[in-house]
Chain A
Amino acid sequence: MGTQMQEDGQGSTVASQPILSVRAVQKTYKLGRVKVPVLHGVDLNVQQGEWVTILGASGSGKSTLLHLLGGLDRPDKNSKSPASVKYQDRELTRLSKRALDRYRADDVGFVFQFYHLLPELSVLQNVTIGGMIKYGRLGYRTHRKEIVDRASSLLDRFGLSHRLKHRPAELSGGERQRVAIARALINEPSLLLADEPTGNLDVKTGASILDAIIEHRRDAGLTLVMVTHDERIAEKSDRVIRLVDGRVTDA
């Protein structure tokens, strides 16, 4: 299950294990007494280094799926058809809360549509906070220089070296999203989950943000799962899947 044939860049195909494997995932939210089913048994494989775009209408469950992949949420329990969300060889549905926290800190980077930067912190602090969470307060002291150097390097790469001490409120939308991407990448994750990262930006800025993500993905061999409405962005990805009524339909 899950082994796929993939081009190796020289015209031949190689078998690779998916980095993410989702099976029979269902998710239902409760709105008061009303149960609202969002995902109806989603199956999905994502290969190492692959860029998968999830397209779908509003309320189709795109963000919910992304949260499940990132270990922020858990699928519904179903004894007949147990859900499975597997990252490499780890079954996320069976991980403890603490292990899920570690998974998010070490292996996953989140980028949100509305940036979600911490307003009291400077640009540099907003990026290094990811390192602080990963290493803890004591560990951060030991790794501080390394983390700050990497944060500075990422921000420099995203053209923000002159903004290190600025607060998020002093930045443009595009700059804020670049900071959010740098934050997502600070711990060198192997999986980047982006929830409509250009959805709040104009076309030109959105394009530059996308370029930054693509460039970094290529350099770092990052696996990217991106949720978007934008068909033009989807066209650039390795694979597009559509979510319709909580089910995956390959594009």
Chain B
Amino acid sequence: MLAMAAVMLSVATILITWSVMGGFLKTLIESGKTLVGDVAIVWPNVGFAHYDDLIERLEADEMIDSATPTIETFGLIKLPDDRVELISIKGIDAASYSAVTGFADTMWWKPITEPTSKDHAGADLRLDPENKAFFAEIEENGKSMSRFNTKTGLYEPAGVLGIEVTGLNARQVWGGYIPQSPLRALPDGGTEWIDTFMPRDGTVGLTILALDSQGHPIDPVTRTIPIANEFQSGLYEVDQGTIFVPLHVIQKMLRLHEAQRIERVKDTDNPFAVEVDPVTGELGPKMKEIIGIDPARVTTVFVRGIDGVELAEIHQRVRDIYEEFAQAHEGEVPESYLMQNQIKTWEEMNKTMISAVKKETGLVLFIFGIVSFTTVFLVLAIFWSMATEKTKDIGVLRALGASTPGIAWLWIRYGASIGIVGSVTGTAMGYWVVMNINEIHDWMGEQFGLVIWDPRQYYFVEIPSAVEPDKALIVFVIGILTCVVGAAIPAIHSARMDPVKALRFE
């Protein structure tokens, strides 16, 4: 019974740990994919031109569902309480970006009809029917990235801010947010209360360094951006340090928008004509101005493949399409060989985060594995004690003609039986715990005040609760093997026992 209980607890512990950590990793990975689509074509800083043509080529392919242009850069954000922070800025076209990613679904402020799973008291502001129209408008604002300006009577471009950027949304124990009004620190040590709700009337100041025609940073540009909504992606790093801004706004600020290009060249029609240079005042050959167009540029194009196609296939297809695109715009866009490492899957983009969580999962499993490995020794100790107790019986069996392997097999079979029963009950127990882990966690919180998975710290309101059958099978088999290995040494010891000594054993 003791050995069976040990196996049962070990099997259940490993299954619960593996399932929860695996579920955590899976949820985190899915969150990581939320805002990047399947594949990204990245040419940082200066960006690349003719992206419209690239997107047209991508979307014409049967394997590609949609693509969207984006600019990714960094800048400074001035918050309503005048704090200045570093921020990741993403210039996006809201409609196409939503088609490629889950952007539209990440809007936090929107009307909801059902409370979130842990909001038993219905404390979520978004549930209030009186606020429904207000939140519906904010949701629409977020999706279209615009906000109505009561002074001008016009809709103006607006940004969507990560829910944690301002620090003004207090995460609640039930997993939602209650907005707070900011207090601005004053030089005299006092504070000033600012009545604002970001999606209603809040604005931020964005400062970035514009680029010259060669892509070198030049003067800083600052612009006030109204906030249309706030988003929650599920990744804290993203939600506390990202702002989405309409693509055309950020293109203009960075000087990556479409612009007229004026070039002064020698007037070949009249090679002997001269003129005074307006800048230097010196006499020189007469120049003429050629007026052209500098196409708009973006740093990234995100691509979404059609459902059911392997990521590697989409990745390769995007590379192929880019190669054709680069040939068509030779000399104007980066060569395809330069883009080999710049066309990345979402997994490659989130490699650091994914591998960190994978390693954490591996480490936790390793630690629990070591702890559970002690079960082998526990079974060994129990079986050794049993074998000692049964020494005389072993002698009797030998006297009746039982063979050495027969005696060993008896113990191993006994160990395997304990392993099977322990593993079956342990797997069932682990499965039940994982499936009901949130209810158990809530009950522990109510009864003992134990809150291990606090939604104020974790982004996922609920503890991941899915058991993968292949993991359950592996843990099940390991449970049986643990018992067999634990029983094997006492089995060999018993089988080798001298029958005469066994019969005389006291």
Binding site for B on A (CB under 8 A): 64, 67, 70, 72-73, 97-98, 101-106, 108, 110, 112, 116, 118, 129-130, 133-134, 183
Contact = CB atoms under 8 A, between A and B. Distances in A.
B401 A102 contact: yes
Contacts of B402: 101, 105, 133
Interface stretch (B246-254, B299-307, B391-399, B432-440): B391-399
A116 B403 contact: no
Given A67-B500, A72-B500, A73-B500, A105 B392 contact: no
Contact of A104 (B399, B500, B503): B399
- List 4 A-B pairs, minimum CB-CB distance, nearest first: A105-B401, A104-B401, A116-B396, A101-B403
Given A67-B500, A73-B500, A133-B406, A116 B401 contact: no
Contacts of A130: 400-401
A21 B122 CA distance: 95
Given A67-B500, A112-B503, A118-B393, A72 B398 contact: yes
Interface string B304-321: 000000000000000000
Contacts of A134: 401
B413 to A, nearest CB: 10
- How large, as a class, is the contact surface on chain B? 10 to 19
A130 B401 CA distance: 8
Nearest to B401: A105
A130 B397 CA distance: 8
A105 B392 CA distance: 18
Contact of B397 (A97, A108, A112, A133): A133
Contacts of A106: 401
20 contacts: A67-B500, A72-B398, A72-B399, A72-B499, A73-B499, A97-B403, A101-B401, A101-B402, A101-B406, A103-B401, A104-B398, A104-B400, A105-B401, A106-B401, A110-B400, A112-B399, A116-B393, A116-B399, A118-B396, A183-B400
Contacts of A103: 401
Nearest to A115: B396
Interface of B: 392-393, 395-404, 406, 498-500, 503
Contacts of A112: 396, 399, 503
A116 B404 contact: no
B399 A70 contact: yes
A69 B285 CA distance: 129
Nearest to B409: A137
Contacts of A102: 401
Given A72-B499, A73-B500, A110 B404 contact: no
Contacts of A98: 403
A70 B401 CA distance: 10
Contacts of B395: 116
Nearest to A110: B399
A97 B404 contact: yes
A214 B16 CA distance: 65
**Residue from the set A102, A104, A183 with the largest chain B CB neighbour count within 10 Å:** A104
**Residue from the set B392, B399, B403, B498 with the largest chain A CB neighbour count within 10 Å:** B399
Contacts of B500: 64, 67, 72-73
A237 to B, nearest CB: 22
Contacts of A72: 398-399, 499-500, 503
B503 A116 contact: yes
Nearest to B390: A118
Given A104-B398, A133-B401, 19 more contacts: A70-B399, A72-B499, A73-B498, A73-B499, A73-B500, A97-B403, A101-B402, A102-B401, A103-B401, A104-B399, A106-B401, A110-B399, A110-B400, A116-B393, A116-B503, A129-B397, A130-B401, A133-B402, A133-B406
